[in-house]
Structure 1
Amino acid sequence: MTSRPDWKQGLGPIDKDRPSPAWIAALRARFTTERTIDRVLTRKLEQRADRPYRQTTLEQLGAGVESLLRANIGADFAIRETRWLSGGASKLQMAFTLDWTRPGAGREQTPLVLRMEPAESIVETSRLREFQLIKAMEGVVPVPPVFWCDENGDHLPYPALIYGFARGVAKPSASSSGPSGVGTTLPPALRERIAPQFVECLARIHAFDFSKADLSAFDNPGTGTQCAAWGLDWWQRVWEEDSGEDVPLMRLAVVWLRKNLPVLDRPVIVHADYRLGNFLFTEDDARISAWLDWELGRIGDRHQDLAWTTNHAFSSMDADGKTPLVCGLLPESAFFEAYERVSGFHIDAKTLHWYKVYNAYSLAVIALATGYRISRNAKTHQDVLVAWLIGIGSSVLEELRQHLEAGA
């Protein structure tokens, strides 16, 4: 249903497709999130009724990029070889070559990528946060260089950023996979070479001293339970904004999560989607060449990444048919042992389990609430893929149930 009475907030019938200012204000008062997250989610609701997704052409995107570049580097440049990039469930991407005089390098033809939101995304996030996080990670782990950000969509149809084109593949050329890299299998020889890098990169991200980086679009929760509370408020707010029906298990999960908020001992950079499919590697030497999709990143708890990475949805079976491999790379126990050894950080079993419940809850929000809302309202270029994600909602709820039972 599009609307239903919400007597708790005393606002009468609520139309989530045309949210009223009073309802938006009530949501903001009820759920406390980071300031940028609040702005992004609020903007989504304020523009929902009058901002349908409009199919854009390469010519239109090229014109928007030209406007953005003129505002940043003047007029001495040329945009060439514009083309669509496939992959990803949330953002629209266009590759192009920029002929320009690059500061410190002289005249060059730089391969670049435009990464832009649709009208509403399967995950509504900030391009500025993604820009700042990738910039901070330069020299820490392999990432593409970032160049410009159109934070509010002043030049392009929707908010966007431009970063460098990275060499590599997300899966072996001879393999197959499901959407967004799910179900990818790697041959044993490749696993042995990628797995140590996979663990080392995660350790480097978590060990990074972010205090001197420009992360003005982020709030630091400090130690304590604020980090977990902010994250839970974020996803519960999205559930309230986007869901079309009541799911009792989701209400039960929120009660359990709030009752068991973990204490953060050390804030770190969290990628929040660290898995196979979100990094590129070069096939000739099996080296990780770029970590991508930082849009959900935050200053938070390392256990969030560890729980996400070990989600069964991202695993595959070893040749014995019995041993699940974390992201198709190595058994979970070996992954945790390697992470503790390389990072020097301890893994707390109770905190790890809390984040397994938290991640299952957020996945259910994405599939059953946002996926449903944006596909029925034609808000995205990826409507077929988004509709597919709705179909895995039952399996995500089953995983959530299992984690809650284990936590009981």
Structure 2
Amino acid sequence: MTAHDLTWDLDFDLRDHPSEEFIQTLRRTHPTEREVDRMLTRKMRRRSGPSYRRPTLEEMANHLHSFLTHQLGERKFRVSDLHWFTGGVSKIQIGFTLEREAEGGGTRSDRMVVRMDPSEGSNATSRAREYELLSLVDGVVPVPKTFFLDAEGEWFPEPALVYAFVDGVTKPRTTESGRISGLGTQFGPEYRARLAPQYLEHLSRLHTMEVTGRSFRTLDVPAAGSTQAAEWMLNHALRCWEEDRGEDSPLMEVAATWLTRNLPILDVASVVHGDFRSGNFLFDQETGEIRAWLDWERGLIGDRHRDLAWITLPTMGHYDSEGCYWVCGMIPLDEFFDRYTAVSGLTVDPDRLRFYQVLGCFTIIVSTMASTYRIARLGKSHQDILLTRVEGLVPVISRQLIDLLKEKP
């Protein structure tokens, strides 16, 4: 369903203070996964609240102390080296060291990270889901060890998870590329040779994990042989568009209609990271070993083509001086799918890939043209300047979307 089919007032400023009728209409119009629905509903019900105010380190220390007292019970502990982490578009991250009594006796010390939402992020995502995904894939691909979860923001200002700090870098220290969230990082020949095989192996392990028949707290498993996976993702994007946008867009109307008419059938449900690109993994500068995959906020169980389409969009990599496009800065596009198939044993369906590339462009425009606009307008995030800057991606992504829609079946 598109904007002109809906019955509420199209005064876009009303989205600053959404009514319960508005929220419930969107829930009915764009049904999606239970946890996604819960997070989007929470976002909209809280939108009329105050703008973001960055807590002080002293305030965060108090929140953390209360939370750890609750988590650790009678065990003694000490927090030290509390500090902010820079970077990140949609989440707030704080590092610290926790010394505590070990369950078997003695003491242990761990460097940890608090990962928390601002008042409203450019992606309304679930820390509980991120925690569950990290726990699910631990041992399958390298990820930080999870420690604690405040799923509802009972102890912190917003929902938060606590996981292990991992040493590493997101890009070679010698490159000036990839400054915005790791996009377009140029690794160079030496690091490409080391990172690319690991990258393909980790992606393959995720996509070949068996999830059918398992039960999860925050993850819904779409049925194979149905369009459920695509419907959930499309409805998620459409709902965010209607919740956040500040203007009409004929291109988005056309794309929404095309997506609705071309929902693909899922063959097998896979773990999908959702943003499996440079900037979202840490590697050892000396050895080139990937130490941890981060930022699971877009993760879900669905169609592997969602990952494949996202990471092969032009904005996720770069062209070299000879015109070769490097997927996430590591693998030539003309080799990528063959190498992925060889490692994973999974096929790549061109039609499903195109659908998820269109949906990927649509989702990026939703995030940059609608969500970041609304968040910056209302002062809901610590990254309002950066969010305003990334709105400049809209013309580039729109051109990609137009080209994809023009492709012949």
Letter matched to residue 93 of structure 1: Q
SS in 2 for 1:179: coil
- Residues 131-170 of structure 1 mapped to structure 2, 5 A cutoff: 131-170=131-170
CA distance in structure 2 between the aligned counterparts of 1:236 and 1:362, rounded to whole angstroms:
9
Aligned to 2:330: 329
Q: Is the 8 Å Cα contact of residues 136 and 214 (structure 1) preserved in structure 2? A: no
SS in 2 for 1:210: coil
| Alignment of 1:59 onto 2:58 | yes
Cα distance change, pair 352–405 in 1 and its aligned pair in 2 (3 A): same
Q: Is the 8 Å Cα contact of residues 96 and 111 (structure 2) preserved in structure 1? A: yes
Aligned to 2:8: 11
Deviations 1:375-400 (A, max 9, x none): 01100001111011111111111111
Cα distance, 1:24 vs. partner? 0.7
CA distance in structure 2 between the aligned counterparts of 1:221 and 1:407, rounded to whole angstroms:
28
Aligned to 2:85: 85
Letter matched to residue 170 of structure 1: T
- Residues 91-102 of structure 1 mapped to structure 2, 5 A cutoff: 91-102=91-102
SS in 2 for 1:19: coil
- Residues 223-372 of structure 1 mapped to structure 2, 5 A cutoff: 223=224, 224-318=226-320, 320-372=321-373
Letter matched to residue 326 of structure 1: V
Aligned to 2:127: 127
Aligned to 2:28: 29
Q: Is the 8 Å Cα contact of residues 277 and 311 (structure 2) preserved in structure 1? A: yes
TM-score by length of 2: 0.95
CA distance in structure 1 between the aligned counterparts of 2:222 and 2:214, rounded to whole angstroms:
16
Q: Is the 8 Å Cα contact of residues 136 and 213 (structure 1) preserved in structure 2? A: no
- The more displaced of 329-338 and 361-370 is 329-338
| Alignment of 1:397 onto 2:394 | no
TM-score by length of 1: 0.95
CA distance in structure 1 between the aligned counterparts of 2:304 and 2:105, rounded to whole angstroms:
37
Cα distance, 1:284 vs. partner? 1.4
Aligned to 1:3: none
Cα distance, 1:344 vs. partner? 0.6
CA distance in structure 2 between the aligned counterparts of 1:350 and 1:331, rounded to whole angstroms:
21
Cα distance, 1:212 vs. partner? 7.6
CA distance in structure 2 between the aligned counterparts of 1:104 and 1:90, rounded to whole angstroms:
38
Cα distance, 1:321 vs. partner? 2.6
Deviations 1:47-101 (A, max 9, x none): 1002421221111112111222111112511111000111211000000000112
Cα distance change, pair 106–146 in 1 and its aligned pair in 2 (3 A): farther
Gaps spanning 5+ residues in structure 1: where? 1-5
Q: Indicate the percent of aligned positions where both proteins have the same amino acid.
A: 40
Q: Is the 8 Å Cα contact of residues 132 and 214 (structure 1) preserved in structure 2? A: no
Cα distance change, pair 80–354 in 1 and its aligned pair in 2 (3 A): same
Cα distance, 1:211 vs. partner? 4.9
Aligned to 1:196: 197
Cα distance change, pair 103–305 in 1 and its aligned pair in 2 (3 A): farther
SS in 2 for 1:16: helix
Q: Is the 8 Å Cα contact of residues 129 and 215 (structure 1) preserved in structure 2? A: no
Aligned to 1:209: 210
CA distance in structure 2 between the aligned counterparts of 1:71 and 1:162, rounded to whole angstroms:
14
Cα distance change, pair 102–215 in 1 and its aligned pair in 2 (3 A): farther
SS in 2 for 1:41: helix
Gaps spanning 5+ residues in structure 2: where? none
Deviations 1:353-390 (A, max 9, x none): 11110100000000000010000110000111101111
